Structure 1
Amino acid sequence: DSFVVGPFNELPHAAAIAVSKNPGFVYNPLFIYGGVGLGKTHVLQAIGNEAVKNFKKKKVKYVPSEKFTSEVVSAIRNHQMEPFKSKYRTIDVLIIDDIQFLAGKEKTQEEFFHIFNVLYENNKQIILSSDRPPKAIHALAERLRSRFEGGMIADISIPDFETRMAILKTKAQEKKVDFSEEVYQYIASVIQKNIRELEGALNRLIIYQKLNNQKPDLEITKTLLKNLLSSPTKITTPKKIIQMVAEFYDLKEKDLLTSSRKKEIVRPRQIAMYLLREELKNSFPFIGRRFNGKDHTTAIHSYRKVLKELEKN
């Protein structure tokens, strides 16, 4: 009930309401994605709670993907695959959080694929969350990706200033506290990308108020939140950029540095080259050398290709 709806989450919110009223027959599967701390888990659990409330006889299961993976591993080790499969096939609403962690786990993906098919064919609702859209989850079986993309994909983006203000005031009301408008405005202007951090900031003010028996003013608020906001400046290096790109695409660093022409490696390699040029202003010959002595023309081609795509989109 206290969920704040704004332009950043209107679509997933509307889809969640529709699914909780008629599971299995609208938006199946429902795939919700967005960054850390934007409320994906909150939406998933709210759907589950509503489904339980509306349909007393339906079996609803919420499970983080890592727990699902450990259940598969345990079932294989203990020769209990059939009971495992039977348990999941009787579920009416299956909710899996952080599905991106299935990437690279072939056996878990295979079992989930079969469970998905059985549930889908029997009009059982499947709800998934991820920190990225299906097409950006690398090392994910193509047949799973196409099933994820076959339903409704809804993203939760970063809330705008007005929505951040509304979230702060709603949370404060829930906790039966209130602060000045300028305090709310300050928090909403300095914390922009993470709802969890907004709540964390509010909690600091509440603790201060309880300990000191007075409301923090703007200056005190700035002091209280200083540590929360001042993250040390990170020095970016070519190695860090290559590491970051490899990690995002679920590859090993050495994969990016090989001469492989595989599509799943060429694309990330081009992005890494683009970032070295764009972020660090490295020369093209230097970039070529970083990637196993490639010719500088390869680096130029990669940079221009990514740049062109960004301009087009």
Structure 2
Amino acid sequence: MKSISSLSDIYNLVVENYMQEYNTSTSAREIWLDTLKPVEMNGNIVVLATDIDFKLNTLNDFYRARLEEQFENVIGYPINIQFIVQSDAPAGEIPASPAKTEEVTSQIDNLVNDNKVTYTFDNFIVGPSNNLAFAAAKAVSQKQHEKYNPLFIYGDSGLGKTHLLSAIQNEMEKKYPGINIIYISAETFTNEFLHSITANNTELFDEKYRNADALLIDDIQFIAGKEQTEEKFFHIFNELYKLNKAIVLTSDRPAKEIKSISDRLKTRFSSGLAADVRAPEYETRLAIIQRKAEILNFKIPDDVVDFIATKLKSNIRQIEGVVTKMNALYMVSQIKPSIVGAQNVIKDIVSDHQPVPVTVDKIISEAAKIYNVDPDEIRSQKRNAPVSSARKVAIYAIQEITGLPYETIGKEFSGRDHSTVVYAIKNVKETMVKDSSFRSVVEDLIKNIKANQ
């Protein structure tokens, strides 16, 4: 086994040759090559440690073969490189470098965030899966909403509903300066309403919404099961409708399938035009990828475009996210777009869910709104009926969505034990069988959380 010091000398020479042979940028060297640390060399195997597991796929796919070639040029015989994560290396041999890890992640994240574009009708890709929703949204933006009021756009997450709402807002503000447009999520609407009750200023809340020239609400299904919020929204809706103000709502399902919402609201939602957005066809997916790349001034080979369009079929947000991430990797480390690279980015994008603690907090918050209690009360030892019911529903939903162990769930609720969690889940299941209204409330809560993970 060669000593670390002599292997370090060899590796330094390998890096110098690599830089000259492949005309590599200084930033790429700093991020990908300088952060590699030689661990050991046994026969023809060289072990190099990276500072973060995020880099392993890229190192294996884009750097390994070239590094092996340069090792052979330096020492005269073929070498096989094995990459490991720094924490897996023998203790004491490799100093930690958290700053470099943060630097890489920060650079890529900043580029991804900087490349977010304004949603307009011009950059919305129209296809058979969304042409009705697009045409209706554009008509609303031109104050031709009489036939479409309310416009109810529904479909799964990531298919362009938010894009259309934003496009309506941007187009109306451009065409009609001074117009009063309220664009808000149903969750924020609910929070504002509850705050107005607490602050005893519901009159100001009413005035704000009743003075709107256009009301655009995203994810309206979030008000389902929240009786006070539903009641308030019903009256605001009626007032605006009578005044012929534009109302556009989006949901992850048709109005009739929002089980725990009142029938009179379902009737209002269905009284105008319901337009669905579906998963885009292959040709539309190709156009989305090409358009996103064009906006970023980023050239992607046709075979890579085809690969992305074939692999990602049901979520436009993910499709655009892959293009944005590949562009960021190219900008940071000069990794050219390829099928292998696209495959790795797709894997990262598809598995990028909210962390469990965020999900747990959202579930408890939603249960609190349904039962009109405080989230802290749900976590506490309080046992009055509304708090107890909200707690059981939250426990059931957390187990359904996150799959956390019972002991871990119990810790979220003032350290309740395993048997208490089991009882709560069993109780909710039994009540759902007996009470269809209760079942609808619980199912809607779970759907809402999953749709926004």
Return 181-190 or 222-231, whichever deviates more.
222-231
Matched, 1:149 2:242: no
Question: 2:335 & 2:229 partners in 1: Cα distance?
Answer: 53
* Letter aligned with residue 211 of structure 2: T
Q: Deviations over 1:161-206 (max 9, x none)?
A: 1110100000000000111110000011011111111122112321
Matched, 1:161 2:274: no
* Letter aligned with residue 228 of structure 2: K
Displacement, 1:20? 1.0
1:253 and 1:59, CA in 2 relative to 1: closer, same or farther beyond 3 A? Answer: farther
1:220 and 1:83, CA in 2 relative to 1: closer, same or farther beyond 3 A? Answer: closer
Q: 1:219 aligns with which of 300, 325, 340?
A: 340
Question: 1:267 & 1:106 partners in 2: Cα distance?
Answer: 14
Q: 1:37 aligns with which of 154, 158, 167?
A: 158
Q: Which consecutive residues of structure 2, in runs of 5 or more, have no partner in the other structure? A: 1-121, 353-395, 402-424, 442-453
- Equivalence map 1:93-242=2 (5 Å): 93-213=214-334, 215-228=336-349
Return 88-97 or 57-66, whichever deviates more.
57-66
Question: 1:76 & 1:264 partners in 2: Cα distance?
Answer: 26
**Is the CA contact (8 Å cut-off) linking 1:18 and 1:26 kept in structure 2?**
no
Displacement, 1:56? 2.1
1:76 and 1:267, CA in 2 relative to 1: closer, same or farther beyond 3 A? Answer: closer
Question: 1:243 & 1:214 partners in 2: Cα distance?
Answer: 40
* Letter aligned with residue 137 of structure 2: A
Question: 1:266 & 1:230 partners in 2: Cα distance?
Answer: 29
Question: 2:180 & 2:440 partners in 1: Cα distance?
Answer: 42
Question: 1:9 & 1:112 partners in 2: Cα distance?
Answer: 27
1:20 and 1:259, CA in 2 relative to 1: closer, same or farther beyond 3 A? Answer: closer
Matched, 1:257 2:430: yes
1:254 and 1:6, CA in 2 relative to 1: closer, same or farther beyond 3 A? Answer: farther
Any idea what SS the aligned residue of 2:147 has? coil
Question: 1:118 & 1:253 partners in 2: Cα distance?
Answer: 43
Question: 1:208 & 1:266 partners in 2: Cα distance?
Answer: 46
Question: 1:71 & 1:265 partners in 2: Cα distance?
Answer: 25
1:37 and 1:110, CA in 2 relative to 1: closer, same or farther beyond 3 A? Answer: same
Displacement, 1:262? 5.4
Displacement, 1:2? 1.2
Question: 1:267 & 1:223 partners in 2: Cα distance?
Answer: 39
- Number of residues paired by the alignment? 254
Q: 1:27 aligns with which of 119, 144, 148?
A: 148
1:72 and 1:47, CA in 2 relative to 1: closer, same or farther beyond 3 A? Answer: same
User: 1:61 corresponds to which residue?
Assistant: 182
Question: 2:211 & 2:241 partners in 1: Cα distance?
Answer: 12
**Is the CA contact (8 Å cut-off) linking 1:98 and 1:129 kept in structure 2?**
yes
If asked which structure has higher relative contact order (CA below 8 Å, sep 6+), I would say 1
Displacement, 1:92? 0.7
User: 2:34 corresponds to which residue?
Assistant: none
* Letter aligned with residue 313 of structure 2: Q
* Letter aligned with residue 181 of structure 1: D
**Is the CA contact (8 Å cut-off) linking 1:32 and 1:155 kept in structure 2?**
yes
Question: 1:253 & 1:154 partners in 2: Cα distance?
Answer: 39
**Is the CA contact (8 Å cut-off) linking 1:23 and 1:124 kept in structure 2?**
no
1:147 and 1:168, CA in 2 relative to 1: closer, same or farther beyond 3 A? Answer: same
Q: 1:5 aligns with which of 116, 126, 130?
A: 126
Displacement, 1:85? 0.8
User: 2:55 corresponds to which residue?
Assistant: none
User: 1:73 corresponds to which residue?
Assistant: 194
Question: 2:218 & 2:351 partners in 1: Cα distance?
Answer: 30
Question: 2:274 & 2:292 partners in 1: Cα distance?
Answer: 28
TM-score (structure 2 length as normaliser) = 0.52
Question: 1:75 & 1:86 partners in 2: Cα distance?
Answer: 12
**Is the CA contact (8 Å cut-off) linking 2:260 and 2:440 kept in structure 1?**
no
Higher-Rg structure is 2
Displacement, 1:208? 2.9
**Is the CA contact (8 Å cut-off) linking 2:159 and 2:277 kept in structure 1?**
yes
User: 2:209 corresponds to which residue?
Assistant: 88
Q: 1:18 aligns with which of 139, 152, 161?
A: 139
* Letter aligned with residue 64 of structure 1: S
Displacement, 1:243? 4.7
Question: 1:44 & 1:230 partners in 2: Cα distance?
Answer: 27
Displacement, 1:138? 1.7
Any idea what SS the aligned residue of 2:146 has? coil
* Letter aligned with residue 290 of structure 2: K
Q: Deviations over 1:28-66 (max 9, x none)?
A: 000111111111111001011112222224211101111
